[in-house]
Amino acid sequence: EAEVAQSPRYKITEKSQAVAFWCDPISGHATLYWYRQILGQGPELLVQFQDESVVDDSQLPKDRFSAERLKGVDSTLKIQPAELGDSAMYLCASSPTTSSGYEQYFGPGTRLTVT
């Protein structure tokens, strides 16, 4: 069964450093999402791509976070500089397309710890 791949699974970094996460969605899925899940809370959408275009990045802290999906396939989420409050699980998800009611398929996540 096809799965969403994410790496690394765990990342420890010092504050003010740069960090990057990678996601490879299920083959053929046009829509890709990045979520942040703080311990004890539900996931919160950071950015949504349809192919290589950003559909929604209203909750992305653009002063330090950036996301790209250059060829409309895999994606990278970057934080620079990292802050203590960025410690969380970062989840990537994909779905066949947008506005269709399709469920989203989630990867295993990257757990970030900022020290």
Please select the residue that binds another protein; options are 19, 21, 31, 60, rule is CB under 8 A.
31
Q: Using the rule CB under 8 A, is 94 a contact of another protein?
A: no
Q: Does 56 bind another protein (CB under 8 A)?
A: yes
**Nearer to another protein (CB atom), residue 40 or residue 63:** 40
Are the beta carbons of 92 and 81 closer than 8 angstroms? no
Contact 4, 58 (CB under 8 A): no
Residues in the interface with another protein (CB under 8 A) total 29
Q: What are phi and psi of 101, to 5 degrees?
A: 80, 5
Q: Can you tell me which of 26, 30, 55, 73 binds another protein, judged by CB under 8 A?
A: 55
Give the residue, chosen from 26, 30, 45, 73, that forms a contact with another protein under the rule CB under 8 A. Answer: 45
User: Distance between CA atoms of 8 and 30, rounded to whole angstroms?
Assistant: 23
Residue 5 binds another protein, judged by CB under 8 A: no
Q: What is the CA radius of gyration of the chain?
A: 13
DSSP secondary structure letter of residue 25: P
